[in-house]
Structure 1
Amino acid sequence: MDRPYSPPGAEAAALRLALPPPPALSGLVHHFHIEYASAGRVVVPASPLAQLTFFIAGGSLLPPEQGQRRLLNQAFLCGPMARAMPAEWQPGTTFVSALIEPSRFAGLFGLPLNELLSLPVALDDAVPGLPCRELQDSLLATRSAGEWVRLMSDWLLRLAARRDDALRAAFRLPAGLLFSPAETIALQHGISVRQFERRFLAAYGQNLRETRRLARYARALALMMSCPRPLPRGQLTRIAMDAGYHDQAHMVRDFSELLGRTPGGVLAGPDAGELRLLRYDERSRPAVVQGW
């Protein structure tokens, strides 16, 4: 966790870490992701989680907009990824991300999450005036991955304290209700179905149907990541059932549309390939798969 950071130009082996949040951020941050000294083409996978990311070095070339590729190399916010997105990391790219529970995002940053669906936006543009310069300078000044997470955690805790009223008022759906009929959920909240749909869209970034779809996919990914390799015979069918799919074919269709790969293709890919953002070692994996 405290592997030293090498400045750009120095030789360094790529490293990927996932760390759980401190207890005070439980329910707000799902986990922290640290990418160290990576480069090359990568697929940013679909995900129901929002994120806050600070770059330590390098940057990411995003797909073309109006014929031109955009280099993202500053702190940014992004909503859930409704589809996988290709990117190309510059040599030595190093960053730390807080993967944020979607229902907490709007209260924390004052932005409806549907405005940032699958869209990375520079933090200064998304929330003008947010005091983050000191945090960025502190991140650049240290060489410890553990210290990066501590600095981000302290900053998020201060922000959450200032936004306490908004966080308390934010619409949050208990996990056990996600797959209930919309009418049942609305009735339990004492609001109309239309009011529920509006609140849900702003809080989760997508409508109920698409959020359920991403939740099944995330659950299936977590089960795949937790299974031994190679998978025992019939394990993919069991994963599909446990994740809430009708059958394995249903899971294959969702993975093909959301990730651009079949479940078998996800499992067979190399650890250093374009899907490396789904590859974690035994130390990091529990932080990623918990809660799904």
Structure 2
Amino acid sequence: MALLPPPSLAGIVRYFHIECASGGEVLVPATPCPEITFFIAGGSRLMLEAGLGPLIDRPMLGGPQTVPALVHWEAGTTFISALIEPGQFGRLFDADLVELRNFPVPVEAYLPHLPIRELEDGLRASRDPHYWLTLLSDWLLGLLAQRAGRVRPAFALPPGMLFQPTDDIATRCGLSVRQLERGMLASYGQSLRDERKMWRYVRALSMMLSLPPRRGLLTRIAMDCGYHDQAHMIRDFIHFTGRRPGSLLEEDDGSGLLRLFRYDDPHRQVVTGQV
């Protein structure tokens, strides 16, 4: 399930992802959105060359995921994640997004002061996904209220500015190029160049998920999303998902490996920003 946040969190939370009673291997694609996840049942292990990593079954924070990851969900795994809008993470958490990039960490180890026990108990006491969303939304709003006036305004580029020339962005923000890059790393967890590359891929993936298959679709998407050509888009997709864009949406052997690309409407519309 992918559910929109309440209006009070619009612009801070992109959407909530809720997984119910799942299990097995899953491909997690790259995403520019940091997140916080609460497990209600089961847990997740990173699949490493040497075998499965340690079980993660407690609340965790993650920065932007810049490469795909293979994970193994324990049978019956249930969780809710809040995907935070890029540039807004610092309004909620005192965390270094560069440190968290591609490396989720337990909340209680990284930010031991956060009040998570009561929220965990409330989530695990209910079976209603919409109630989980309400609990987590209220908790996040509480963090915002506590931090109001105590943190600097988040450095976030206005919509549509990301792909403007770097010098023009810096001038409009009243910064030097060096200050702009420092702000990007602090608020987004990656450089301006890498953020542009990721958002180009995100836009292309959203179009692939939204549009019906047809001849020439990938070429049209590549052009519309600013790639030099289709080969350029293919290279980026392999980097961010481990799959070529065409095979990514065609492969479905029933294993559930690509379940995070298999949202049905209206959840797909939430993920792709069509609502």
Range class of TM-score, shorter chain = over 0.9
Equivalent residue number for residue 173 of structure 1? 157
Query: Counterpart of 1:73 in 2: which secondary structure?
Result: coil
Query: Counterpart of 1:152 in 2: which secondary structure?
Result: helix
Match 1:281 to one of 254, 264, 270: 264
Q: Structure 2 regions of 5+ residues with no counterpart?
A: none
Matches within 5 A, 1:222-261: 222-228=206-212, 231-261=213-243
RMSD: 1.7
CA shift for structure 1 position 112: 2.6
CA shift for structure 1 position 90: 0.6
Decide which moves more: 109-118 or 71-80.
Answer: 109-118
Matches within 5 A, 1:1-292: 17-64=1-48, 69-165=53-149, 169-228=153-212, 231-270=213-252, 272-290=255-273
Taking the aligned partners of 1:278 and 1:166, their CA distance within structure 2 comes to: 38
Equivalent residue number for residue 6 of structure 1? none
Query: Counterpart of 2:134 in 1: which secondary structure?
Result: helix
CA spacing shift, 1:72–1:241, aligned 2, 3 Å: same
Partners of 1:237 and 1:247 within 8 A in 2? yes
Decide which moves more: 260-269 or 239-248.
Answer: 239-248
- Aligned residues: percent identity? 52
Q: Which runs of 4+ in 1 moved over 4 A?
A: 65-68
CA spacing shift, 1:130–1:219, aligned 2, 3 Å: same
Taking the aligned partners of 2:248 and 2:10, their CA distance within structure 1 comes to: 29
Per-residue CA distance 1:195-242 (angstroms, 9 max, x = gap) = 1111111100110111111101110111111112xx111111111122
Amino acid at match of 2:37: T
CA shift for structure 1 position 107: 2.4
Taking the aligned partners of 2:187 and 2:82, their CA distance within structure 1 comes to: 18
Taking the aligned partners of 2:50 and 2:256, their CA distance within structure 1 comes to: 28
Decide which moves more: 19-28 or 60-69.
Answer: 60-69
Query: Counterpart of 2:190 in 1: which secondary structure?
Result: coil
Taking the aligned partners of 1:166 and 1:289, their CA distance within structure 2 comes to: 33
Equivalent residue number for residue 9 of structure 1? none
CA spacing shift, 1:272–1:225, aligned 2, 3 Å: farther
TM-score, normalised with respect to structure 1: 0.90
Query: Counterpart of 1:150 in 2: which secondary structure?
Result: helix
Per-residue CA distance 1:149-207 (angstroms, 9 max, x = gap) = 01001111111111223566121111211011221111112121111111111100110
Q: Structure 1 regions of 5+ residues with no counterpart?
A: 1-16
Count of residue pairs the alignment pairs up: 274
TM-score, normalised with respect to structure 2: 0.95
Equivalent residue number for residue 5 of structure 1? none
CA shift for structure 1 position 267: 1.1
